[in-house]
């Protein structure tokens, strides 16, 4: 067991958990933030993507203790005072989701993409989302959603 102490969506949290607790399990099971999803067991699908200290990270690929002292943002932490994040708005406008399961990770990855690429081309967007698998949308409207949020992140 070890102590995990970090900030999640602006709130300080401190818990005692087994050392081998993955960050995604900590978020889902210990903090009851079930918006972050598990879609695979080989760190490829991207459903678990969150932001750790501003960068998108696959939370299934790090231990909770490795996030000690960090600021973590999950999908639940994007909405501010009832107002959706511009990327969330754009996904809604462009029908960038169907079943919704890959969506939290897809949104988090998209935000990171737009932070590092201010005006990405279609090719850069598609390549930038390589780490997120979607089975429903065929990606086209996800790409449109990201395009729709250019300049707003």
Buried-state track 67-80, b at ≥16 Cβ within 10 A, e below 16: beebebbbbbbbee
Q: Dmax over Cα atoms in the chain, in whole Å?
A: 46
Give the residue with the Cβ less far from other proteins, 62 or 102: 102
Region of 43 on the Ramachandran plot (φ > 0 left; ψ -120 to 50 alpha; else beta): left
One of 10, 79, 83, 152 touching other proteins (CB under 8 A) = 79
Shortest spacing between CB 5 and other proteins, in angstroms: 22
Q: Which stretch, 51-59, 64-72, 124-132, contacts other proteins (CB under 8 A)?
A: 124-132
| Residue 97 found at the interface with other proteins (CB under 8 A) | yes
Distance CA 107, CA 120 (A): 16
Question: At its nearest, how many Å lie between other proteins and the CB of residue 112?
Answer: 15
Which secondary-structure segment (H or E) carries 141?
A: helix 140-148
Collect all residues with Cβ–Cβ distance below 8 Å to 29 and sequence separation of at least 6: none
Question: Does the protein bind other proteins through residue 147 (CB under 8 A)?
Answer: no
Taking the complex as a whole, the smallest distance from the CB of residue 122 to other proteins amounts, in Å, to: 7
Q: Under the criterion CB under 8 A, does residue 47 sit at the interface with other proteins? A: yes
Given the rule CB under 8 A, which residues bind other proteins?
A: 18, 28, 33-42, 44-45, 47, 74-76, 78-79, 84, 88, 91-93, 95, 97-104, 107, 122-123, 125-127, 129-130, 132-143
């Amino acid at each position: 067991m070890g102590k995990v102490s970090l900030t999640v969506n602006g709130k300080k949290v401190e818990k005692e958990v087994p050392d081998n607790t993955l960050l995604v399990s900590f978020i889902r099971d210990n903090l009851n933030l079930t918006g972050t999803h598990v879609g695979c067991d080989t760190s490829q699908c991207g459903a678990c993507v969150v932001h750790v200290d501003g960068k998108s990270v696959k939370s299934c690929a790090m231990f909770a203790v490795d996030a000690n002292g960090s600021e973590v943002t999950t999908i639940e932490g994007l909405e501010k005072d009832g107002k959706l994040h511009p990327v969330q708005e754009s996904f809604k406008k462009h029908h960038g989701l169907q079943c919704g399961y890959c969506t939290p990770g897809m949104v988090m990855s998209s935000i990171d993409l737009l932070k590092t690429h201010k005006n990405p081309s279609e090719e850069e967007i598609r390549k930038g989302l390589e780490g997120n698998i979607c089975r429903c949308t065929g990606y086209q409207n996800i790409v449109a959603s990201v395009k729709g949020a250019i300049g707003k992140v």
